[in-house]
Amino acid sequence: MAMTLGEKVAHLKGLSEGLGLDENETHGRLISAIIAVLEEAASTVKSLENRVDELTEQLDSVDEDLDGLEEYVYEELSGEDWDIDDEENEVEVQCPACGETFSVDEEILDEGEMHCPACNELLEFEVSCDCGHNDNEE
Ligand SMILES: [Zn+2]
């Protein structure tokens, strides 16, 4: 396994110490300053790597949650409940003048009247109560 950046910097530091560089001499000062910068860079890289690992783990878990949510939503939308719900708002009406049968939205029925789309006859509807009971056609 390859050495990490931190290990390489530690190795360089060990080498420079082995040379017995004088910190009061220009080359010694320069080298120890370079190594200090390398140590800081290595530590920054290390914490960034840890953060990336953390974020990758979180992203994986979000990805899994999203898969579950997608499955749930698609099942709900393609299920029978969806179709029935859609049809509930439409009522089949037959025009007494021309016999044409067509679907009318409940909201239009609530308004009480509309024109037949086939013959333009004015059709009047009995406005039923909000509870939906409309068994008795008087
Ligand atoms: Zn008609």
**pLDDT single digits (tens) 43-56:** 999 999 999 999 99
Ligand 1 centroid distance, CA of 111 (Å) = 18
**30 and 62 assigned to the same domain:** yes
Enclosing domain of residue 127? 90-138
- Report pLDDT for 43: 95
- Report pLDDT for 48: 96
Ligand 1 centroid distance, CA of 97 (Å) = 5
Q: Which of 75, 6, 71, 78 is nearest to 35 (CA)?
A: 6
115 - beta bridge partners? 122
Within-domain flag for 34: yes
**CA 39/CA 36 separation, integer angstroms:** 5
Kindly give, in sequence order, each residue whose CB lies less than 8 Å from that of residue 22, ignoring residues fewer than 6 positions away: 28
**CA 132/CA 138 separation, integer angstroms:** 16
Ligand 1 centroid distance, CA of 12 (Å) = 95
**132 and 65 assigned to the same domain:** no
Summarised one tens digit per residue, pLDDT across range 58-72 is 999 999 999 999 988
* Final residue before a domain boundary, out of 41, 62, 80: 80
**73 and 18 assigned to the same domain:** yes
Ligand 1 centroid distance, CA of 102 (Å) = 10
Within-domain flag for 85: no
**Banded model confidence at residue 91, pLDDT cuts 50, 70, 90:** confident
Ligand 1 centroid distance, CA of 87 (Å) = 22
Q: What is the mean pLDDT of residues 2-19?
A: 90
**33 and 100 assigned to the same domain:** no
* Three-state secondary structure readout of 18-74: HCCCCCCCHHHHHHHHHHHHHHHHHHHHHHHHHHHHHHHHHHHHHHHHHHHHHHHHH
Does pLDDT of 79 surpass 80? no
**76 and 9 assigned to the same domain:** yes
**64 and 98 assigned to the same domain:** no
Mean per-residue pLDDT of the chain: 84
**Contact by Cβ (8 Å): 113, 125:** yes
**9 and 66 assigned to the same domain:** yes
Q: What is the mean pLDDT of residues 22-27?
A: 83
**10 and 76 assigned to the same domain:** yes
More confident residue, 121 or 1: 121
**20 and 58 assigned to the same domain:** yes
Domain count, the chain: 2
Cα–chain center distance at 105? 33
Ligand 1 centroid distance, CA of 113 (Å) = 13
